[in-house]
Amino acid sequence: MAEKSPAADVEASLLAHLNSTGEVPDSRSFASSLGVSHLELEGVIKSLSAFRIVESTDIIDETWVLTDEAKGYAAKGSPEAQLVSAIPPEGATKGALKAKLGDAFDVGMKAAARNKWIGFEKGNKDLVLRKVENFKDELQEQLKRLENGEVIPDEVINDLKRRKLITKEKSIGHSLKKGPEFVVKRKTLATDVTTEHLRSGDWKDLEFKDYNYAAQGQPIAKGYVQPLMEVREAIENIFFMMGFREMPTNNFVESSFWNFDALFQPQQHPARDSHDTFFLKAPMATRQLPEDYLEKVKQVHQSGGYGSKGYGYDWKRDEAEKNLLRTHTTAVSTRMLYKLAQEKPFAPKRYYSIDRVFRNEAVDRTHLAEFHQIEGLICDYGLTLGDLIGVLEDFFSSLGMSKLRFKPAYNPYTEPSMEIFSYHDGLKKWVEVGNSGMFRPEMLLPMGLPEGVNVIAWGLSLERPTMILYGIDNIRDLFGPKVDFNLIKSSTLCRLGL
């Protein structure tokens, strides 16, 4: 017969007690009567309650408990008592008493002086004299009474609280009575038919535990899709549904030419200095720029053309050759539009890109030095701003953002340009959800795109929608070395439009 576990003994004693008395007023005193820890008894109570064998009601008491310092005083006497006991009839110097009492000295001196248990000789403040033969150590007495759970007058409690000698402690007990399924001895329900049962044949009169079909299986350790990748996939599906194809973005390193110059962004534009852009030391410059196209870009910057007066500054080739970490995937759009312009006859295209871009910006709750830019563009004859607004309505409504507002904005490479705002029902406010515009002729015509072909484009980040859809407050919890994996494992994508 298997050795009875201590828990079984506790269970047996508890059920027997309930059977005879019908109730256990307070599990704490019952535990001490059994000589077991209350924690152990609580384990048994929890299991018996689960099977409704006993009914348990919590009793919450707040009791004052002594701090360690107070426990010391209860044991060795109050600091003032220790001090006076340490003073010989001829008195003692403060130094000697401090050496003897340590931290209790200061408290002791004040209290002993307050109780007029000590005094000083005229003109010799250092020699402490004992003023009382015997004295009653009230404090020690009160602390001991508290330790024995006796009730203490409030003013004493307040004084002990003031001297930070007691703290409030919550203790939870349980009053118990028989439950609807009460039994004196709980049948241990078999959970499995073992060879032992079969060999001994005692399986015939065994009672089996019900199968808990609702039991959660072991959590299977599986991979989790990074929220950014989940939202990326959802946004890619929107682009596919709208007939867009992905642009190749597999080059984080770009030349200033494709990242800025080809976008008609002047070489002295503030975004082009190292405060905003990560320039490469090695390879510092590119050698692969298309000569004839480069000449056209130089011209349009320096003296315009195509109806534009240009910027009229001295355009520098080596500035355009500087390598950098791309600051936007619009650099990829530029390459694709140039390539498209070389394909005759011209065919309209819808392109999108979602990939990392790098900006030398101050890191804060919503900004890192790199983020994922989402960009869409449509290149076709006669496209208008209305077409852009229409496409934005489609795109953002698929993202669950139906109410859009557009605010005129400025980008060096688009005219007109618009910031896009959406009213976010959850946040109850207008959120800036992106930027957009029509690429300038000074950008498109030098590429060789036919007259009348316009390009409407827009951009947003992947991080912002992901943070809002996942309720992530700090971008560092979403991306980078400090990603909170539990957040990824536990949070489900609150499906708005996605």
**Residue 462, C-beta contacts closer than 8 angstroms, at least 6 positions apart:** 228, 231, 232, 235, 354, 371, 372, 373, 374
Q: Among residues 11 and 463, whose Cβ is nearest to ligand FB9?
A: 463
User: Three-state SS for 264?
Assistant: coil
Q: DSSP code of 228?
A: H
Interface pattern 317-356 for ligand FB9 (x via CB under 6 A) = -------------x--------------------------
User: Three-state SS for 144?
Assistant: helix
Q: How far is the CB of 225 from ligand FB9 (least distance, A)?
A: 17
| Secondary structure in 3-state letters for 49-92 | HHCCCEEEEEEEEEEEEECHHHHHHHHHCCHHHHHHHCCCCCCE
**Residue 124, C-beta contacts closer than 8 angstroms, at least 6 positions apart:** none
- 349-358 and 245-246 beta bridge pairing: parallel
User: Three-state SS for 410?
Assistant: strand
Amino acid at 338: Y
Q: Among residues 86 and 469, whose Cβ is nearest to ligand FB9?
A: 469
- The single residue among 442, 459, 478, 488 that binds ligand FB9, judged by CB under 6 A, is 459
Q: Within 411-450, which residues bind ligand FB9 (CB under 6 A)?
A: 411, 414, 424, 431-437
Amino acid at 47: S
Q: Among residues 321 and 375, whose Cβ is nearest to ligand FB9?
A: 375
Q: How far is the CB of 241 from ligand FB9 (least distance, A)?
A: 18
Q: How far is the CB of 46 from ligand FB9 (least distance, A)?
A: 44
Q: Within 360-419, which residues bind ligand FB9 (CB under 6 A)?
A: 373, 375, 401, 411, 414
Q: Among residues 140 and 414, whose Cβ is nearest to ligand FB9?
A: 414
- The single residue among 108, 412, 446, 465 that binds ligand FB9, judged by CB under 6 A, is 465
Burial 473-494 (b: 16+ CB within 10 A, else e): eebbbbbeeeeeeeebeeeeee
Q: How many residues bind ligand FB9 (CB under 6 A)?
A: 23
Q: Using the rule CB under 6 A, give the single segment among 79-87, 258-266, 340-348, 462-470 that binds ligand FB9.
A: 462-470
Amino acid at 220: I
Determine if 262 is a binding residue for ligand FB9 (CB under 6 A).
no
Q: How far is the CB of 309 from ligand FB9 (least distance, A)?
A: 23
Alpha helices, H only, 194-316:
195-200, 227-241, 256-259, 291-302
In the complex, which residue's CB is closest to ligand FB9? 459
State the Cα–Cα distance between residues 364 and 114, nearest whole angstrom. 57
In the structure encoding, which two tokens stand for residue 155, read together? Answer: 């003013």
Determine if 454 is a binding residue for ligand FB9 (CB under 6 A).
no
Q: Using the rule CB under 6 A, give the single segment among 54-62, 212-220, 455-463, 473-481 that binds ligand FB9.
A: 455-463
Q: How far is the CB of 400 from ligand FB9 (least distance, A)?
A: 7
Determine if 464 is a binding residue for ligand FB9 (CB under 6 A).
yes
Q: Among residues 128 and 263, whose Cβ is nearest to ligand FB9?
A: 263
Q: Among residues 117 and 396, whose Cβ is nearest to ligand FB9?
A: 396
State the Cα–Cα distance between residues 159 and 147, nearest whole angstrom. 16
Interaction site with ligand FB9 (CB under 6 A): 330, 373, 375, 401, 411, 414, 424, 431-437, 457-461, 464-465, 468-469
